[in-house]
Structure 1
């Protein structure tokens, strides 16, 4: 099985409300919290199996990969409820899956609502998971997605001042934004699905992000998929 390390791309996966600490199952990833080195996750290639984006992480591709723990965005401490994320890839897409335990969910924004007002409200009214992705690994400009349990998605392109990279290098706690957000932006070809298990009080999100779309945002326009490895 091939492996890629987080060198060419920076991916940060967050649960933006206090609901997910890592479940104690194998395989697992144990990460030392701040202060210290920014954690690195080894992302395995999908074996000979197609991942179907239906919100249910039932394929072996998910079961056989390391899990990423969640932490409070400000202090790095474990949140109140169990959950995890998994990242994998194949020749066409980067895949990110979330399993979130949350008995009492709040999701006011639905998939049918679009535009700035609805997308920004996900961050204000709903409980959601987030992906921050920096295709060229410069620690300055990055992509951001939010997903709630109703299947709604918010996506935006953010630009940060170069001074912010110092915080990334040191692995210090989040200290506020200070960025410029483009809410009209949307990355072509991104697919996602959400599945809610009411009996278990949990929900799952599956996301597929095309390598071709990420390459179009890279500073080196001739970038190949292997250079966008994680």
Structure 2
């Protein structure tokens, strides 16, 4: 459920309960393949809200090792720890949007006319004028000498961002539903010469809101359904 808010949410990475009103937390993220896989090591959960200008996303990520070095827009953020949003406004499995960000508040936005498995190719030229993002760190970034608690983030997607494909750049009507999913990529790290480094020979963990059944976020028919109220 995505509740409408009466006043704009300030995008500063700090999740102010007064601003977020009655927006509920999602269930904690699970492994991308589903309940048969181990429970994620660290908690991740999301809030959603909207108004006539923006779709708002907030996330809380438990993280003992805050790590991010990618600092240029449209870098391949998931090669490090990240948070990802996938949106399919009309729910047809086509013409969908992806946004990734890290603890440095570096973003990567892309558009697909269809999933990769159907021959889709990512358009990295898609940009989001008016996008607002922010992070708040509860710890010290890139410093292995301590144990961190995590980070929070806020995103405001202007409705004009989705003016591509069949979707018109207008806010949804109350009662309308979208296909949406969220993903978190997490790597096991070692400390080498005082710096974090991905452990060699290990793949990333993929933790999600709505499990896909396979290690592939680009199965939009498996994404969750969010109803706007």
Structure-2-length-normalised TM-score: 0.64
- For the 8 Å contact 1:131–1:145, the answer to whether it is kept is yes
Aligned counterpart for 1:138 among listed residues 92, 115, 119: 92
Show the 5 A alignment for 1:164-175.
none
CA-to-aligned-CA distance 1:83-124 (integer Å, 9 cap, x gap): 2100100111100000101011221112xx235xxx12x122
User: 1:81 is matched with which residue?
Assistant: 42
User: 2:135 is matched with which residue?
Assistant: 194
Name the structure where helix makes up a greater proportion of residues. Answer: 1
CA-to-aligned-CA distance 1:48-104 (integer Å, 9 cap, x gap): 333100011114243632111212123355311122100100111100000101011
Give the Cα separation in 2 of the matches to 1:219 and 1:202: 38
Q: CA deviation at 1:159?
A: 2.8
User: 1:54 is matched with which residue?
Assistant: 12
Give the Cα separation in 2 of the matches to 1:162 and 1:185: 17
- For the 8 Å contact 1:43–1:87, the answer to whether it is kept is yes
Question: Secondary structure in 2 aligned to 1:60?
Answer: helix
Provide the alpha-carbon RMSD of the alignment: 2.6
User: 1:180 is matched with which residue?
Assistant: 121
Q: CA deviation at 1:163?
A: 7.8
- Unmatched segments (≥5 aa) in structure 2: 140-146, 178-227
Structure-1-length-normalised TM-score: 0.64
**Corresponding pairs, count:** 167
Give the Cα separation in 1 of the matches to 2:126 and 2:96: 12
- For the 8 Å contact 2:66–2:148, the answer to whether it is kept is no
Name the structure where strand makes up a greater proportion of residues. Answer: 2
Kindly tell me: are residues 87 and 141 of structure 1, through their superposed partners in 2, closer, same or farther at Cα, counting changes over 3 Å?
same
- For the 8 Å contact 2:42–2:63, the answer to whether it is kept is yes
- For the 8 Å contact 2:138–2:149, the answer to whether it is kept is yes
Kindly tell me: are residues 162 and 148 of structure 1, through their superposed partners in 2, closer, same or farther at Cα, counting changes over 3 Å?
closer
Give the Cα separation in 2 of the matches to 1:106 and 1:217: 34
Show the 5 A alignment for 1:97-176.
97-110=58-71, 113-115=72-74, 119-120=75-76, 122-124=77-79, 126-160=80-114
Q: CA deviation at 1:162?
A: 10
Give the Cα separation in 1 of the matches to 2:73 and 2:130: 17
